[in-house]
Amino acid sequence: MERVLSLIGEGAFTALGFFWKAAWAFVLGYFISAMIRVFVPKKRLVEKLGRATPKSIALTTVFGAASSSCSFAALAAARSLVVKGAHFIVAVAFMFASTNLVIELGVLILIFLGWPFLLAELLGGVLLIAISALLIRVTYPSSLLASARERAEEGAKADEEEFDWRERMRSREGWQMVGHHFVMDWQMVYKEIVIGFTVAGFMATLVPKAWWSTLFMTGADAPAWLVAVENALIAPFVAAATFIGSMGNIPLATVLSAQGVMFAGIMAFIYADLVVPPLVSVNAKYYGWKAALYIAGVMYVSMVATSLLLSGGYHLVGWVPESGMAVDDVVRFAFDYTFWLNAAFAAVAAGLIYLHRRHQYAHGAMNHDMEGDGPLKTLSAAVAAVVLVGGLVLRAVETL
């Protein structure tokens, strides 16, 4: 029993360490994301996305990269594009871009996994979009997607208002909107973050290395290319089993990398945030189950193909990292650059929260329902929070 309590304390401490390492990056990323969303007009861009041309896909990629990295928000925004007449190739491109090419995710990958993985994430985001566009073009089920579009049009929201971005940037109201979007983004993802970091912390301490070695063939006497293929094929299913979104996936990817999972498997795991069951269920609500499963299938094939292509390319140029940062190197509390960055961005967050409150005072408090943010996710986040607090108390008692 004493050993079990010690492991719970260690898991909670590891989870907190993961978050401590990344806290400033979350604030920076969502601050930049909020400014882009408030000061960059989007309506004219949306009007150009009706056909799946290289130009429209490129515009969508930029549009997606400027959007929130919350996976559920990406799906909701993609539905809005479909309702406004965007091609399904464009909608899928947006989903990939808004969950793989956003600033906050890139900073997190750089912190936890290093520059080779960050570069792969950026290159992979483009490859995911290109491969998925080719797959949809080749297999396009016209009647199925036409029916899906009709279903998506139910409950469509009004278009975004036009504005002068220079005037908005100079106004107090504009910056209050930045604070408002910053807080709204955090309200959309905080449960995902709590669940993701808790799962990562406990998997790092409770799951034995032998289990990872068996699942990902890290100790198998097999050709490296075969292990890479197996890793790429199975990693999205491991990600789906965690029910974690894009931001929560990164610390767990660090755990997998530290256990010797191959580069192709790590990248496929990171890409797989869009095929976790809650997200497939949300797409089913938007478009129907047949269309949702078709989109998930296209995404899965794209993820596997992209991770293998990147792995092959990295091998050719000698960039494949041997392993990621050890968990003990990440989970470290000290008066180093992380401490000072967290302190500085805590002040930034406080200022943005103040601006959000001023926006609420001027416009009234508004509640935003989040697709997929249902009772199960709320309960999971609450359980994770209780486990974290309880584990930290056990850890403190043990160290006294």
Written as one letter, the residue type at 348 is V
Report the chain (400 residues): mean pLDDT per 10 consecutive residues: 82 87 81 80 66 87 76 75 85 90 85 90 95 95 92 63 83 94 83 81 84 86 90 92 70 85 94 85 87 96 97 92 67 80 95 95 69 74 91 85
What pLDDT is attached to residue 8? 87
Alpha carbon 171 to chain centroid distance?
31
Predicted local distance difference test score (pLDDT) of residue 29: 75
Q: What tokens appear for 267 in the block?
A: 């990248």
Residue 110 · residue 22 · CB < 8 Å: no
pLDDT of residue 237: 92
Overall number of domains in the chain: 1
* Residues 49, 51, 52: CA angle, nearest 5 degrees: 95
C-alpha closest to that of 234 among 212, 201, 208: 212
Give the CA-trace dihedral at 370, 371, 374, 376, to 10 degrees.
-120
Rg (CA), the chain: 21
Res 96: pLDDT = 93
Which range marks the domain in which residue 222 is found?
Answer: 2-399
pLDDT at 371: 57
The whole-angstrom separation of Cα 95 and Cα 275 is: 11
Q: What is the pTM of this model?
A: 0.77
